[in-house]
Amino acid sequence: MRVADLLIAPLFHAWERRLASVSKDRRVRPFEWGLEWISANGHVVLGPEDRVRTWVAEVMSDTGAFFDAPPTSDYRFEQAPFMERRRGEAGTLRFPSGLLTPHAENNTVEARWFPSPGEPPVGEQGPRGRAVVVLPQWNSDAEGHIGLSRLLARFGLSALRLSLPYHDARMPAELTRADYIVSSNIVRTIQVCRQAVLDARRAIAWLALQGYERIGILGTSLGSCLAMLTTAHEPRIRAQALNHVSPWFADVVWRGLSTQHVREGLSGHIDLQRLRNLWRPISPCSYLDRVGHARTLLIYARYDLTFPVDLSRALVEEFRSREVPHEVAVLPCGHYSTGFAPFKFLDGYQLTRFLRRNL
């Protein structure tokens, strides 16, 4: 570690812990295998962990089928009020999710549309430029990444900002946080992350129907993981901007500052190696050989406690060793502090600059 880091890191780490402590509604939920989220498939004689392990092996044998989003024509676009249109938001797109869950609210996808100036209105013919699907961070509220979407549009990149499963309008009344997408329920976590990928692919299909051919994806934190999973299974994506990264889903949950309550629910029931193996379907490292068709930007923060820095550097090294086309940017801040000036401006600049050059 550099001398400057030895002096600065404790300051950022203290700030990160203060920012993380603002949330008072984190709840330790009981450990569950989540067997109700998978079909029996003749494995009912197996114990719970063996059954999940067998199911995961089946998923990994054909992830193309697992992350396949059946086409839909049920896209509904509602125009934004006049004042929102003046601020660059054209309206809200709604469509059915590719995965049905027990919660009706979660089964309709919402995406806010920010077209770049000069783009034809939705449903009208005309030349289209570049478009980006935006996946915000875990527990983002309805306004998360709206400013970034406006920035992208201002620089010629139309932005379709998705609400992740179990977030904002998709959150059932029983929740105050988006716990069902990352939790100590093993299979539910896989399935709801899968749902996010299916939703992103249906959003990309809608962009293609509008006439867009230069399509990218941008994800932050949990959204970066979901974005890479989407790119690995969606050939129409030309560029992906991944903001805060790790090769393994399990390691971030096990070690990260923001997921200590999830780790508490897991502790005593499973160890990290077993968890890493079971969460392979939603780990970026499982798909490194499937993203070479897209240019990649990997961004991480030097003082991150939520996505530990050694994990981010491990993913960068994997990209390098496999010679997957990519660029790297390092932010001089932490995870939460990325959302504050001046770091949010530096982050937005890196993301926008990369997507403009590669779409």
For residue 343, give the CATH number of its domain: 3.40.50.1820
Number of folded domains in the chain?
1
Report the percentage of the chain scoring pLDDT > 90: 89
259-272 pLDDT per residue, tens: 999 999 999 999 99
Q: Which domain holds residue 135?
A: 3-358
Average pLDDT on 44-67 reads 92
Q: Does residue 42 carry a pLDDT above 60?
A: no
Average pLDDT on 42-51 reads 77
219-256 pLDDT per residue, tens: 999 999 999 999 999 999 999 999 999 999 999 999 99
Query: Which residue type does 180 have?
Result: Y
Closest by CA to 186, choosing from 60, 61, 31, is 31
Token pair, residue 115, equals 């077209």
What confidence score (pLDDT) does residue 4 get? 61
Q: Does residue 2 carry a pLDDT above 80?
A: no
Q: Does residue 194 carry a pLDDT above 60?
A: yes
Q: Which residues pair with 219 in a beta bridge?
A: 135, 242
CA separation for the pair 348, 159 (Å, rounded): 13
What confidence score (pLDDT) does residue 355 get? 98
Higher pLDDT, residue 127 or 167: 167
C-alpha torsion sign, points 116, 120, 122, 126: negative
Average pLDDT on 113-130 reads 91
Q: Does residue 317 carry a pLDDT above 70?
A: yes
Q: Which residues pair with 297 in a beta bridge?
A: 241, 327
What confidence score (pLDDT) does residue 245 get? 98
